[in-house]
Structure 1
């Protein structure tokens, strides 16, 4: 199935000059969403993960159903202050400043093989931060996958682990 037929593009969102790739139309189409999950499962399965991690917030939509499909657990990487209980933080550089991502301190056991998922890879900054955070708590990142990759922003080049995307758009 051609998943691009189920991705809506919205110009000038969230600000002028940005073309937003909206997966809500993919999620609303059960056959397309099933195909997306099946296609991701085919790749992710080969990495033999123990646990899937989704990045806030659309990465949750990608990782959670895939975890069910593969009979795996699911954990969340979120922005600072959004997770209850004890957390481990990782500060990373942005173009103009820093940001922080967190994971619950007991979400990953040392040595577990982790696959990280998000809906879209652009520059790779948040994905790289999630990889570093998972490694910080003792996880082994076996791979990274997303639905959409924006070519031309360098995200793939930032990945230090195997990477797979279902759809690529040149920007």
Structure 2
């Protein structure tokens, strides 16, 4: 059972997407609910380890939560995007996918050494993207004080992998399985 059944009830499950056996957790239904969205942001802000200088959001749904959290936390927003999507000088980090590799990037000048950063995304599964984001932020000299997710899929081990990397991890809702 999840810690926030009211929020979990707002997240639609789509079976067999994007392939058979996957239970896709669709947060767009929560985003459509003004009270659910507000409660999510308020809960995330209340559990933030602060103060933070920046809230780093992972493309694309992480941007929504990063921007919303930055306001009550009095922090800036740092965008972590797929490589090739940002103009100007960037630094990038590769990570493994089920079939191959991908890269994420951020502006090289977006994070001052010593900046305290809260990493945010909508969901953590295997943790590949989030772990790459932590490596990227640390390469820039940031202190990643916490990673927050709306949804955790604990059976896939991503949150535990981040914790093994020395990151405090919190989520509002967890669902068993894939």
Alpha carbons 1:108, 1:139 under 8 Å: kept: yes
The SS at the match of 1:128 is helix
Who is 1:167 aligned against? 173
Who is 1:103 aligned against? 106
TM-score by length of 1: 0.95
Query: Where do 1:8-87 residues align within 5 Å?
Result: 8-44=12-48, 46-87=49-90
Alignment partners' CA distance in 2, 1:170 and 1:82: 33
Alignment partners' CA distance in 2, 1:47 and 1:152: 29
Higher relative contact order (CA 8 A, sep 6+): 2
Where do 4+ consecutive residues of structure 1 move more than 4 Å? none
TM-score by length of 2: 0.91
Q: How many residues align?
A: 170
Gaps of 5+ in 2: none
Alpha carbons 1:115, 1:143 under 8 Å: kept: yes
RMSD: 1.2
Alpha carbons 1:123, 1:153 under 8 Å: kept: yes
